[in-house]
Amino acid sequence: MRLAVLTDIHGNRDALAAVLADVAVRGVDRIAVLGDIVGYGPDPEWCVERIMALAEEGALVVRGNHDHAIAARDDAMNALARAAIDWTRPRMPAAQAAWLASLPLTLALDDILLVHASANDPGDWIYVTSEHKAMPSFRVSGARVILCGHVHVPALMSCDLSGRVRAQRIPMGRPVPLIRSRRWLAVVGSVGQPRDGVPQAGWALLDTGRNELTFRRVPYDTAAVAARLRAAGLPEELARRLEKGE
Amino acid sequence: MRTRPRAGLQIDGFTLGEQLHKGGFATIWEVTHPLHRTPMVMKVPTILDGYDGPTIVGFEVEQMIMPRLTGPHVPRVMGTGDFAVMPYIVTERIPGESLLARFRSGPLPLTEVMDLAARMALAVHELHRQHVIHLDLKPDNFLERPDGTLVIIDYGLSRHDQLPDLLAEEFTIPMGTFPYIAPEQYLRRRDDLRSDVFALGAMVYELVTGKMPFGQPETLRGVRKRLWRDPEPPRALRPEVSPALQEIILRALEVDPARRYQSAAQLLFDLQNPDQVKLTARAQKQARDGFGPVFRRWRRMRGLRQFASPPPTMSAQIDQAPIILVAVDLSPEMEELAERLRLSAARMLVLEPDARVACVNVIKTARIGIDQTVDEFGTNLHVARLVALRDWARGLDLDEGRLTFAILENPDPGTAILDYARTTQVDHILMGARGHSTTRRYLGSVSSRVVAEATCDVTVVRVKPADLAEEAEADVAPETAPA
């Protein structure tokens, strides 16, 4: 099975469209969306509508903290995120808001676990930013491959037979074999708001037949989205972030 | 690991036969599979009870790297086994022995050394082109196919440029085989393909002299000495060694990777063209350095943490040291084209300061019958062409060591250029195209054939016609003239 993994779309229509076009070109059997479809970006309704349609066709979708904050206020959010979600909330059609609230926090597919943040207490939205922070996910889950998002910076961790967790270098665009003597955790890069200094939309392709994971980047018109963001009256900082990818 | 290998064991369709070899870290078994008719072997790591990190990681690395390699210089992989049941790798069985026996019987006759060394360098370059640095090259890791092609095995310490380096995290001490390990490997660098060039140099030294250049140190302290202590020059041990061969060996064994051959292909090139090797002080060296220079090197090296970094990727590293073939047409009516070709070559050399240039000229021989190799005045055609070719290259302003010259003879210039490019691992062919002519439109030109069939980059240079009519006339004339 070839599984396209998208996460942290954040209402960025152009980035999502570019990624879905790339996904179509690569050819996949299934799509997984690891949450945060809304928040920050200027086109949350379009993005939710698109992902809902994909879910109808069998895409697997889990809930992110921004999706969660549409229905339930999240006081742990920083000011910028809260400002954006306060802008987003009233725009969301009731059906979309209800759908977001109904999403599960985790999903399992064979030996793969899908989750937005750390698999350890998924509703606590813990960032997996280091080997140390990845360890609890490996502990609570027996899955061979854990796929998550939330950080907006792609990362790959392996956990060997002795339980040692190691961050691995990611060769962008090249398949990494997920050797079976280890378990793996991939933090997939953000579609709609990358923060690793590369302003291109990120996604990942997991090929279970070949047992390989490929992190990919796709360019899109960041300036156009930044302009729409500014026109919508969203904070300037968010527009700058898209242009620089940080 | 739940299952242990034994004769008769069946796993994933493979049936184990006889145990062929038992090494420190793995056993090798003969295996059969109903779907594969080729003779095969299975390598199974010997994993100690409990957690045996280094062996496991080494085998993980082999399982990752080997299935990605292709071509005659690597064993073909038929299957790999899961650690959950029994880890293994099944490959085709290479019938011959490793080179170890030949190394033990050394020193070898020098012509044999040149041939064997060239085949070793070719195999290593093929590996580098597939993004793998072997990092544990030694005679035991070269097998020989019946046709003489060398096959490199044992990738347990290797590094693939585009895969995670699982070993970097595992080992805190330098890894490799002490007699052949490069100085930067001792300093724990795992990303420099020139480390393999060093190991090749150490092996060629051994083939020539029957001795290992740095002995057989048993401790890391002993390995470290090669950072300042130079080996005995080969010619001091075997006087009939040519200055060129000593130059080749000592250059491959330079302590600082920046002073070595920058790729296995460049080493191969010199092994194939020993008469054109630029000789330096290395070639003339008669004895090891005295106390003074060694002491100064020791003072400089003892605190050294790292040499200058190699380029970020292996492809970049190979590309930085390309071999450029310039095919020069020396016929009088092609003077302007030859001039343009020189300008293009010069421009290319500005961008690629580590490039080497092979200037090639083809003498077109008759398909049938005996060729005249001397002209009516008794001048040897071959020599005359060589002189002309050297004269052409004078305008390149390149130091001699980076320039070589070859006069090829072939009824078909295209074939000559393509064959030469293939055997010398050329990265880029630069050649001229004559103008347009009716003959060529129907018969095809040399340059179009080279562009179509070459396996490397090709740049074709043209002279822009000032006036089309005039150009057509000038162009057609020599070809239609009776030969």
pLDDT digit string (tens) for B96-109?
889 999 999 989 99
> A143: domain range?
2-244
Distance from CA of A202 to the nearest CA of B (A): 19
Mean pLDDT on B460-477:
60
| Average per-residue pLDDT for chain B | 87
How high is the pLDDT of residue B321? 82
Tell me whether A132 touches chain B (CB under 8 Å). Answer: no
Q: Lowest-confidence range among A8-12, A57-61, A214-218, B80-84?
A: B80-84
User: How far is the C-alpha of A216 from the C-alpha of A203, rounded, in Å?
Assistant: 5
Inter-chain residue contact B60 with A181, CB threshold 8 Å: yes
Mean pLDDT on B240-255:
96
Inter-chain residue contact B51 with A181, CB threshold 8 Å: no
Tell me whether B64 touches chain A (CB under 8 Å). Answer: yes
Do A38 and A66 contact (CB within 8 A), yes or no?
yes
Tell me whether A128 touches chain B (CB under 8 Å). Answer: no
Task: Report helix, strand and coil shares of chain A as percent, to nearest 5.
Answer: 35, 20, 40
Residue B400 pLDDT grade (very low, low, confident, very high; cuts 50, 70, 90): low
How high is the pLDDT of residue B347? 87
| Average per-residue pLDDT for chain A | 94
Inter-chain residue contact B56 with A174, CB threshold 8 Å: no
Inter-chain residue contact B164 with A176, CB threshold 8 Å: yes
Residues in chain A within 8 Å Cβ distance of B63: 179
Which residue of chain B is at minimal alpha-carbon distance from A212? B64
Residues in chain B within 8 Å Cβ distance of A162: 51, 53
Residues in chain A within 8 Å Cβ distance of B54: none
Q: Please state, for a pLDDT cut of 90, what percent of chain A lies above it.
A: 87
Angle between helices B194-209 and B243-252 (to 10 degrees): 140
Q: Is the peptide bond before B243 cis (omega within 30 degrees of 0)?
A: no
Inter-chain residue contact B83 with A161, CB threshold 8 Å: yes
Tell me whether A177 touches chain B (CB under 8 Å). Answer: yes
Query: The CATH number of the domain where A64 resides is what?
Result: 3.60.21.10
How high is the pLDDT of residue B25? 83
Inter-chain residue contact A162 with B51, CB threshold 8 Å: yes
How high is the pLDDT of residue A205? 97
Do B262 and B354 contact (CB within 8 A), yes or no?
yes
Which residue of chain B is at minimal alpha-carbon distance from A171? B162
Residues in chain A within 8 Å Cβ distance of B165: 169
Residues in chain A within 8 Å Cβ distance of B166: 158, 166, 168
Which residue of chain A is at minimal alpha-carbon distance from B58? A181
Inter-chain residue contact A176 with B82, CB threshold 8 Å: no
User: How far is the C-alpha of A120 from the C-alpha of B155, rounded, in Å?
Assistant: 37
Inter-chain residue contact A180 with B83, CB threshold 8 Å: yes
Tell me whether A93 touches chain B (CB under 8 Å). Answer: no
Complex ipTM: 0.74
User: How far is the C-alpha of B108 from the C-alpha of B121, rounded, in Å?
Assistant: 17
CA dist list (Å): B173 to A223, B54, B167 = 49, 11, 11
In chain B, where are the structural domains located?
A: 10-92, 100-317, 322-480
Inter-chain residue contact B163 with A176, CB threshold 8 Å: yes
Tell me whether A169 touches chain B (CB under 8 Å). Answer: yes
Tell me whether B27 touches chain A (CB under 8 Å). Answer: no
Residues pairing with A5 in the sheet: A32, A204
How high is the pLDDT of residue B474? 47
Which residue of chain B is at minimal alpha-carbon distance from A157? B164
Distance from CA of A171 to the nearest CA of B (A): 6
- Provide the residue count of chain A: 246
CATH architecture classification, B10-92:
2-Layer Sandwich (3.30)
Following DSSP, what letter does each residue of B57-80 receive, concatenated?
HHHHHHHHHGGG--STTSPPEEEE
Mean pLDDT on B113-141:
96
| Tens digit of each residue's pLDDT (9 = 90 or more) over B264-285 | 999 999 999 998 898 999 999 9
Tell me whether A182 touches chain B (CB under 8 Å). Answer: yes
| Rg, Å, chain B Cα set | 26
Options 3.30.70.890, 2.60.120.650, 2.60.40.10, 3.40.50.620; which CATH number does B322-480 get? 3.40.50.620
Query: In total, how many domains does chain A have?
Result: 1
Inter-chain residue contact B83 with A162, CB threshold 8 Å: no
CATH architecture classification, B100-317:
Orthogonal Bundle (1.10)
Disruptive mutation site among A158, A181, A210, A214 for chain B (greatest number of B CBs within 10 Å) = A181
Strands (E), A110-170: 112-115, 145-148, 155-159, 165-168
Q: Measured between CB atoms, which of A160, A169, A180 is closest to B164?
A: A169
pLDDT at B473 over 70: no
